[in-house]
Amino acid sequence: MPDLLIEIGTEEIPAGYIEPALADMGRALSEFFEKGRVSAGTPQLMGTPRRLVVHIPDVDKRQKDAVETYHGPNVKVAYDAEGNPTIAAIGFAKGKGVDITDLTTETTAKGEVICAQVEKKGESTVHILNEYLPQWMADITFPKKMRWASHKLPFARPVHWISALFDGKKLKFEFEGIKAGNTSQGHRFLKPQKFKFDSLKTYLRECKKHKVMVDPAERRESIKDQIKVIAKQVKGKVREDADLLDTVTHLVEYPVAVRGAFDKAYLELPKELLVITMKHHQKYFPLWKGDKLLPYFITISNMKAKGQDIPRGNQRVLKARLEDARFFYDEDRKRRLEDFVDELKGVVFQKDLGTSHEKLMRIVSLASTFAQKVCPEAKETAKRAALLSKADLVTQMVFEFPELQGIMGGYYAGYSGESAEVAQAIKEHYQPAFAGDTVPSTQAGAVVAVADKLDTIVGCIGVGLIPSGSEDPYALRRHALGIIQILIHYDYGIELWWLIDQGIQTLGDKARISQDEIRRHCKDLFAQRFKTMLSAEGFEYDVIDAVLETEIISLKDTKEKASALADLKKRDYFEDLATAFKRVARIIEGDVPNEVNQELLTEQAELALFRKFAGIKSTVERHTQAGEYSSALAKIAVIKSEVDDFFDHVMVNVEDPVIKANRMALLKSIADLFSPLADFSKIVLKKTEKK
């Protein structure tokens, strides 16, 4: 079958733009073919900084024919009393190109109407592609677009050529005056000549000849293999770094790994500084031997190295950066870390929330309160670490390398004579900073991290900076998830709502909305993040909703409830049990007595239910209070048959109000056993529930 091959040749596109753009291109073409009644295979996506390529196999040559039904006026309007067509029907038939006798009727929400069925012949795929592709190119998504020369339509970078083949033949369309053809260009430096192709096979062959490795997966594997070989030459290893590997993969068309070196004297600098300088600023791969950083790096060149020009050039650039870093490091260490704290008074954190120094004082207050609650033995360490936690923001090093905030504070704290515990807490207090990041390794670090993130959340919400949709400029969602991870990891048995209230009290008169509003938005934010986390860990949404409706004593406690309920849900009898518990909760209404009057229990089924309840009550409550939720749920499950018998043989809503209230009290007593564990009304059942 025919295939479609499109290549868009451009100036160098930023590395981060390429994969999202390719995915968007493939998705849009697939949707176009599907809506256009054209069968097509799965898109193959390829690309380099200078070209975006989509290949789609097994494409039909023509659209499938279709019959479309059009609704016209109501039958009463379309025909007169004798059944003759009116002007309305005649006009409708003429407009749709059908004979009046071919009209049919159909019953719709608007009543019975006349219909016209119009056969639509499929057009050639070539024709519809030529019409669609210019708009398809204009709609490709990029973070930023630019216009060039006199062109009106923007693109990521200037477009130099377009190659487009269908069934081996050139398509005939143009984009901003650039006509589609079957000619591409080779590597800009190694083999820049133009080349022609008439199929995917010849395209890939010519790309290879012209020093273009067009498949990102092939480039990625080539880079991995090359750096592994080069690292072994100096008895080192490159640590796995998917983000860096993806970036350099999309920076080159013909990857060549080159090893460079730097003066061993720079190893006296903090290794995090060296790594960030190499990775984030230069896109180099650092080399390691165990936990020790080696004085080497690997860069990925876009062309073959001739002599030592490429290594030397990269070494000169790195040396200049490291010299700057060493200067900043030496200058910063001429002062104690504590000396920088007052300078935070001149740094605005957020216009409504004040300076970074004001934020720092709030963090100290929150850290002290929080530590007293969860780890009083670490309180003084946490307070000292909190006081110094933001001091490095005004150092020369962090001003130049903002990625090192916290890390440099930890180093400077140690150099200033602070305890190792304080230094470690400062170093880690931004953790977890991203998905998959670890929590602080010490109690003091965890306390400061929670205090910092909580102040940002409560403060921003308090002045109206509430996350909405994709907008979250202060990363409040990430901060909320970080707090959740810390509370669960350290099993801090505190109510999240208590923690939020501490943040609100500390914020004081900075707030621009009411405390109730702040509390509501904070709870929504944490609930949303907690749901997201539990969902990512494999919990079903109804299980999550069921446990979040219970009293949240601690997040770890709630997660354990979810685990227990998820395990129970796997049992064969679960759906029948959940149905029974739903019926119990659903029927309770009005003011219900707190105690059951045994003397009013006359029916055999209600007596049996009460005895079973009385027999398991203390055991279920003991397991629940001890956090043994699996045992509590397993024990309460034994009451299921008695509940079913009760509903089968006992009428609850009887005329006697005293009897009715007593039976309600019995059901409420049972509901009170399972309600602290889960809200069974949130559980989605596959079977039909009993009414």
3-state secondary structure of 611: helix
Residue 280 has pLDDT above 60, yes or no: yes
Region 53-70 average pLDDT: 94
Using the structure block, give the residue that is written with the tokens 């027999």. Answer: 615
209, 230, 257: which is the final residue of a domain? 209
Which helix (DSSP H) or strand (DSSP E) does residue 71 occupy? strand 66-74
> pLDDT tens digit string along 510-546?
999 999 999 999 999 998 999 989 998 899 999 999 8
Q: Is residue 212 scored above 80 in pLDDT?
A: yes
Can you tell me the mean pLDDT for 113-142? 95
Same domain, 116 and 231: no
- At 7, phi and psi to the nearest 5? -130, 130
Residues whose CB is less than 8 angstroms from the CB of residue 397 and which lie 6 or more positions away in sequence, other chains included: 273, 325, 328, 329, 332, 404, 408
Give the containing element (helix H, strand E) for 313: helix 309-332
Query: Tell me: the pLDDT tens digits for 347-402?
Result: 999 999 999 999 999 999 999 999 999 999 999 999 999 999 999 999 999 999 99
Please write down the long-range contacts of 313-317, taking CB distance under 8 Å and 24 or more positions apart.
314/258, 314/260, 314/282, 314/284, 315/260, 315/261, 315/262, 317/282
User: Does residue 343 sit in the same domain as residue 484?
Assistant: yes
- Residue 544 inside a domain? The answer is no
Last residue of a domain, one of 307, 332, 357: 332
Whether the predicted pLDDT of 173 surpasses 80: yes
**Residue 303 pLDDT:** 87
486, part of any domain:
yes
Share of the chain above pLDDT 90, in %: 76
Which CATH number covers residue 676? 1.10.730.10
Rounded Cα–Cα distance for residues 230 and 298 (Å): 8
One domain for residues 112 and 42: no
Higher pLDDT, 3 or 437: 3
pLDDT mean across residues, the chain: 93
Residue 659 reports pLDDT greater than 70: yes
611 and 641 assigned to the same domain: yes
Both 411 and 506 in one domain: the answer is: yes
Q: Do 221 and 189 fall within a single domain?
A: no
In terms of domains, do 286 and 380 share one?
A: no
Question: Is residue 158 domain-resident?
Answer: yes
Between 239-243, 260-264, 283-287, 549-553, the lowest mean confidence (pLDDT) is in 549-553
Q: What is the pLDDT of residue 687?
A: 57
Structure-model confidence comparison of residues 251 and 119, the more confident one: 251
- Give the pLDDT confidence score for residue 260 in this predicted structure: 95
Q: Cα separation of 377 and 601, whole Å?
A: 55
**Rounded distance between C-alpha atoms, residue 525 and residue 465, angstroms:** 12
Instruction: Report yes or no: 337 and 416 within 8 Å, Cβ to Cβ.
Output: yes
pLDDT of residue 174: 95
Residues 414, 385: Cα–Cα separation, whole Å? 11
Average pLDDT of span 445-470: 94
Question: Stretch 17-36: mean pLDDT, rounded?
Answer: 97
> Of 6-10, 298-302, 364-368, 625-629, where does mean pLDDT reach its minimum?
625-629
User: H/E element holding 6?
Assistant: strand 4-10
Specify whether the CB–CB gap between 63 and 38 falls below 8 A: yes
| Residue 422 within a domain | yes
253 has pLDDT over 50:
yes
**What mean pLDDT do residues 583-609 have?**
87
Residues 186-207: tens digit of each pLDDT = 999 999 999 999 999 999 999 9
C-alpha to C-alpha distance for 655 and 78, rounded to whole angstroms: 59
**301 occurs within a structural domain:** yes
**Tens digit of each residue's pLDDT (9 = 90 or more) over 621-649:** 999 888 898 999 989 899 889 999 998 99
548, part of any domain: no
202 and 256 share one domain: no
Question: Are 648 and 608 a contacting pair, CB within 8 Å?
Answer: no
Residue 547 lies in a domain: no
Domain ends where: 177, 209, 241?
209
Instruction: Let me know whether 460 and 347 are in one domain.
Output: yes
The predicted structure's pLDDT at residue 227: 96
**Domain range for residue 506?**
337-537
- Secondary structure (3-state) at 178: strand
Cis peptide before 432 (omega within 30 of 0): yes
Distances, alpha carbon 104 to alpha carbons 79, 81, 96, 373, 376, in Å: 12, 18, 13, 77, 82
3-state secondary structure 371-420: HHHHCHHHHHHHHHHHHHCCHHHHCHHHHHCHHHCCHHHHHHHHHCCCCH
Question: Is pLDDT of 435 > 80?
Answer: no
Whether residue 691 lies inside any domain: the answer is no
Nearest C-alpha neighbor of 236 from the set 217, 214, 260, 269: 260
What is the domain count for the chain?
A: 5
- pLDDT of 423 over the 50 cut: yes
